[in-house]
Structure 1
């Protein structure tokens, strides 16, 4: 990867960790997720007329990804409802790169170098190490009985993340217009989630939005920027390599969890974070 691509992917990782923290901190993670998706859609909508539009070949991928993202937001909210961010986030983000790396070779014909495979393993291993350290320490206010449910939702979401990573990697390459492709994804996701809430909990969503409208603005900008930067990077670098480097968001998530969510970080988690950083260096040198 070129240094500029590495920097852009890391910036997207920081944005991703930030908007996840907003969802976790909110009173209702699902409604916070809806606000984040809606904010991204509202930001995207007025910009779309000024952008080159995605090629027709990319629309099946965009529609498939939109459906997958509905599952993503639901599982994300469920994982955070039943567990701490420091427990669920590493599990979700740590499993996905391995799944992407395994699937991209037969599906996309991509071949990673031994160094890149080592980087994927190092980053993912560090993230899992962070998760196990969190479990051993019993960090946060998470109740032990709720941890299995959080783990189950997080693992399911890892499959979802791997699925939309592969679908969007193909879609953005076929689109010839990465920015518009990403913005249409957020507009379509917002429409579906808002329609669901208007049918099921319109008053609750209205009251929640009045109180937490800043989540829509900050989270919407964060998720739009994070995913847009990642998809752009996928047009100039291997999917598995981008997906793995993007998982360094756990470095930023750990700091945000400590200072924003008041979670503790001990020596075991520090070693796990160091492993992730080493994996990022390997990916840079590959």
Structure 2
């Protein structure tokens, strides 16, 4: 994995952790995320005339890939939300990260990516760290706890979220190979915003839209460039590296999330959580060396 690709994806991970911090500080999360996409897409649209890269419309194949990616990522958030409504974070979060199990499989079997042994070891370390970050104690029973009730709607929704995300990653990787990551990201954000807007038309959300902006408009304005930076740097990094490496490396955002929780939110950090974050960091370094 090249230094440039690794650097871009790590920057994306930092930005991803920051916009998740902004979401955590909001009151109505679904509405706030919608406002984030409004801010990001508006900023993007305003800067297009000043960008050095000439704007061009995507061809039908690229537009299909953008739409597929947008649908997958919106479904990922929807399924995750349903899983969290009925399950604990320590069960839902590890299962939703199973996308990293599928991504290398899709990368090698569909995209013909070739991985080195250090790279494979790094991917496995990232998967282990991401799966372990919410463990309450070190034991085999605790490690297997999320899989105990595969018939539960919570478990099924979380597993489906991980699978759907991995499919969206394929659409992204193929899309940015033949179309500029800059405008691929732009149309991805626009389509995701459109899909979220349909959801916000429901009566339960309508009164919250203006209220959320009045209460948190400074956070919303900050979120625009943060989200845009996160999206763009990841897709440029994805264009320069195998998908099988890019998606796991972005899990460095978990390490950043742990540090943000300690430094800014006053969260306690158990040894397991910090250790799991360091395992992710070690895996990312191995991927870079691989």
TM-score range, shorter chain: 0.7 to 0.9
One of 70, 73, 88 as aligned partner of 2:74: 70
**What pairs with 1:35-74 in structure 2 (closer than 5 Å)?**
35-49=35-49, 50=51, 51-56=54-59, 57-74=61-78
Q: Retained in 1: the 8 A contact 2:185–2:232?
A: yes
Indicate conservation of the 8 Å contact 1:134/1:269, yes or no: no
Any idea what SS the aligned residue of 1:235 has? helix
User: C-alpha separation between the residues in 1 aligned to 2:153 and 2:223?
Assistant: 25
| Number of equivalent positions | 274
Q: Summarize the alignment of residues 76-95 of structure 1 with structure 2, pairs less than 5 Å apart.
A: 76-78=80-82, 91-92=95-96, 94-95=97-98
TM, length-normalised to structure 1? 0.84
Displacement, 1:120? 0.4
2:245 to 228, 241, 244: 241
Shift of the alpha carbon at 1:60? Answer: 0.8
Question: Which position in structure 2 is the counterpart of 1:116?
Answer: 119
Deviation at 1:127, TM superposition (A): 1.4
Q: 1:212 aligned to 2:216?
A: yes
Q: Secondary structure at the match of 2:135?
A: helix
Determine if contact 1:48/1:180 at 8 Å carries over to the other structure: no
Which of the two has greater helix per residue?
Answer: 1
Could you tell me how far 1:100 is from its partner in structure 2?
0.6
1:193 aligns with 2:191: no
Contact 2:15 2:227 in 1 (8 A): yes
Name the SS of the counterpart of 1:261 in structure 2: coil
Secondary structure of 2:254's partner? helix
Q: Is the 8 A contact 1:9 1:245 kept in 2?
A: yes
CA contact (8 A) 1:31 1:208 kept: yes
Per-residue displacement from partner, 1:242-267 (whole Å, max 9, x unpaired)? Answer: 11111111110111222333321111
What SS does the aligned partner of 1:132 have?
coil
- Give 2:148's aligned residue: none
Distance across 2 between alignment mates of 1:86 and 1:217: 32
| Structure 2 spans left out of the alignment, 5+ residues | 140-151
Distance across 1 between alignment mates of 2:32 and 2:120: 36
Structure-2 change in CA distance of 1:254 and 1:4 (3 Å): same
Mark the runs of 5 or more structure 1 residues left unpaired by the alignment.
137-147
Shift of 1:224: 2.0
Alpha-carbon deviation of 1:232? Answer: 0.8
